[in-house]
Structure 1
């Protein structure tokens, strides 16, 4: 999995407001799934992700256990669209999570 941030955030600290921006994250996941019929699948993601965050002019890159759930719809045997929720990082009071959408093609 490879992802980038589409929205930054402002975090209040004792020293004032700090702008936080997700630069990128990548990871490897197991993806158990359940067929719901009518070309739909319910899935979970369990794995490890490395995330780079820029905050207040500096940046940091950390790894953490990551997880999520989602739904996939197949247009054909090879093309699909997917959406769900992922938690990519949660340490030391910093959490990177959110909703995602994607398209895929099976080779």
Structure 2
């Protein structure tokens, strides 16, 4: 088993185990349904090329319990990167994820996410355009910061795609509204 995937599985298992005794201290506020926007700084490793691009994405989801939720995301590229003779971009992506949050009384809520993402990566060069359209298991960790009972910001790292000679990692900043 790949070391990073083992780490994510161990992290999620630890979060779930710690939540069994933490239900009495979960903070109140917000609703169980949410929607938000993120800007993500994405690193595309395609073969020997290392491109830095940007995406804008929307998400919507619901918390099934104070600790477990699900969400769907979809986004598109807003910033390309030129590496040598090629322009790289993450044209679009979408996915579905399970989320696992740590209960606490503070406005900071750490979480982990695992799911599947479909990505479309494009490389445009002097001899034409090449597109890769694939899906893979995705995982990451993040931190929600409550600004009000209905508004929070977030910072997260996600590994969206890692297969063959292509890796897509993202560091995202965003906000979400709870209903």
**Coarse TM-score class (shorter-chain normalised):** 0.7 to 0.9
CA contact (8 A) 1:36 1:42 kept: no
Corresponding residue of 1:90: 162
Change (3 A) 1:22 1:102: same
> Following TM superposition, by how much is the alpha carbon of 1:11 offset from its aligned partner in structure 2, in angstroms?
5.3
RMSD: 1.7
TM-score after normalising by structure 2 = 0.53
Would you say 1:44 and 2:87 are equivalent positions?
no
Larger relative helix fraction: 2
Q: Tell me, which stretches of 5 or more residues in structure 2 are unaligned?
A: 1-72
Q: Tell me the secondary structure at the aligned position of residue 87 of structure 2.
A: strand
Moved over 6 A (4+): none
In the TM superposition, what whole-angstrom CA distance separates every residue of 1:65-99 from its partner, at most 9, and x where no partner exists? 00010100111221111111011111111011120
Computing the radius of gyration from Cα coordinates, the structure with the larger value is 2
1:30-69 aligned at under 5 Å gives the runs: 30-56=98-124, 57-69=129-141
**What is the rounded CA distance, in whole Å, between the counterparts of 2:86 and 2:166 in structure 1?**
13
Q: Tell me, which stretches of 5 or more residues in structure 1 are unaligned?
A: none
> Following TM superposition, by how much is the alpha carbon of 1:23 offset from its aligned partner in structure 2, in angstroms?
1.1
Change (3 A) 1:78 1:51: same
> Following TM superposition, by how much is the alpha carbon of 1:4 offset from its aligned partner in structure 2, in angstroms?
2.9
TM-score after normalising by structure 1 = 0.84
Larger relative strand fraction: 1
CA contact (8 A) 1:2 1:24 kept: yes
> Following TM superposition, by how much is the alpha carbon of 1:106 offset from its aligned partner in structure 2, in angstroms?
1.3
